[in-house]
Amino acid sequence: ETVMTQSPGTLSVSPGERATLSCRASQSVSSNLAWYQQKPGQSPSLLIYGASTRATGIPARFSGSGSGTEFTLTISSLQSEDFAVYYCQQYNNWPLTFGGGTKVEIK
Amino acid sequence: DVQLVESGGGLVQPGGSLRLSCAASGFTFSSYNMNWVRQVPGKGLEWLSYISSSSSSINYADSVRGRFTISRDNAKNSVYLQMNDLRAEDTAVYYCARDFCSGGRCYEWFDPWGQGTLVTVSS
């Protein structure tokens, strides 16, 4: 099983600042990585697929990078609506696996 | 609008069974692979099961293989999860989620997700 490890567990950021979230895979997943955002009481929603392609309607302040085993989600200037939990997910190997999540909270 | 609506959750005793349903609308259901994912309240996401558009390919997580069965009915635009021998650790919100498919190829990232249905396993 491909283990996905996200860091940090919690990130405290002020509105307008940049947030950098990391996701590491225990083996190569190529670029077969997605990022999701989950707000309290809501279902997850797709942000990024293919490691770096924004899903439809996702603002340009969200960007993804990386390949192989190291990936990054960057939010260039945090808006109030961006405070949420973010999950990475690999779809290169079965079983499909998620990281444990990074909570982005208001500093 | 593309929509997934889960139902069938509730309170069940350990060792019991439950069948979850997910009704799809707003897209050609028979062209898409589908998945079930769960989330223990306050915890992370766990992928459980996948079924291809024609039901020819099915996969399970080790944690549920042999206890859970995924199926679909393309005529009813629905996917199901039959859960048997339920345990306390199966208590979670269960989501159905659609694969991305385009140009005859599908990829196992999930968009959209349903709103989820809560399953509580307790005596």
Dump pLDDT digits (tens) for B1-46: 999 999 999 999 999 999 999 999 999 999 999 999 999 999 999 9
- Pick A94's closest partner by Cβ from B45, B59, B115: B59
B103 pLDDT above the threshold of 90: no
Please, which residues have CB within 8 angstroms of residue A10's CB and are 6 or more apart in sequence? Answer: A102, A103, A104, A105
Q: Which residue has the tokens 């990829």?
A: B107
Pairing label, strands B10-12, B117-121: parallel
pLDDT at A102: 98
Contact B108 A96 (CB under 8 A): yes
pLDDT at B104: 80
Contact A49 B109 (CB under 8 A): yes
pLDDT at A73: 98
Average pLDDT over residues A58-64: 97
Angle (CA) B47 B49 B50, round 5°: 115
Dump pLDDT digits (tens) for B38-47: 999 999 999 9
Q: At A26, give phi and psi (nearest 5°).
A: -75, -15
Q: Collect all residues of chain A within an 8 Å Cβ-Cβ radius of residue B57.
A: none
